[in-house]
Amino acid sequence: MEAPAFCVPSDDVYCSGCSWSGGTCYDGECEGLHEDPDVRREQQTWQRPEKGKLIIAAGPERSGSTWLFNAIRLLYQDAKEPLDPFWITSVTEEALVQRGAGQEGHPHVLVKTHRWSNGWDHAVADHIFLTHRDLRGVLSSYQRVGWAYDIPDSYVAEHMQWRDIAHHDFAFEDIIDDAEQQLKILAKALSVSHKVDIKSVAERVDALKAPAGGPPDPVTKLWPRHMSQAVQQKQEGMASSKIGAVGDSDLKERFPAYFDMYGYN
């Protein structure tokens, strides 16, 4: 089976399924391999693992899953362990095999996804990390970016399915309050604590910039109107006093188990 095309931000490099213009992939959910070309070249000099790990960065929209994806990606860069990072809309066994997940001598494979899928054996993942967030904050964020004005039942239902198999479930609020501590937890789980500078990685993650407009960044997966942790922290604090305006009681009535489980009551 052919490996997925490697896409780099260059006008003269294309890959199947990508819509390139001016060095940018305009397919918001392109499942090709996107990485900074300088980083990719440097990775060629790093020692490959005997057997690459499969890491899943799951989590519903607006819950911190993009932070999780980039935190893992940059931790591996700082540890100088080769990693192939992907977005996959719906994870399947075929998609994982195509990307070399778990194969001997292959880089680690990181998959960012939102959607729950039964199309693969969850036991093959070395790490399944998940993110969650107070649903009132999710709804407020949805409304801010203009993506939606309600939370569908599937948002919580699929999250609960991921939670049943996740090895660690990160709270959005903990990421905002102390990102360095969450990075330490990640680094320990990934067995790279002794190879990385947590403070440096935290600064690199926080410095990532979302596009001003148009498509998401193909490498970081940041969409326009994503915010840095510092800016987000300020806005979340301002929004907390207005939480009742975005369906407080309605969300608690619809999803009582979620609120009880995470202590958001």
> pLDDT value at position 249?
67
Tens of pLDDT, residue by residue over 112-164, are 999 999 999 999 999 999 999 999 988 887 777 666 668 889 999 999 999 99
CATH number listed for the domain at residues 46-262: 3.40.50
Confidence at residue 36, expressed as pLDDT on a 0 to 100 scale: 85
**Global pTM exceeds 0.75:** yes
| pLDDT of 231 | 45
pLDDT in tens, 66-111: 999 999 999 999 999 999 999 999 999 999 999 999 999 999 999 9
Q: Domain coordinates of the chain in residue numbers?
A: 46-262
Give whole-number Cα distances, 184 to 25, 83, 166, 179, 207, in Å: 32, 19, 18, 9, 18
Lowest mean pLDDT among 18-32, 169-183, 201-215, 236-250: 236-250
- pLDDT, tens digit, for every residue of 20-39? 445 567 676 788 888 888 89
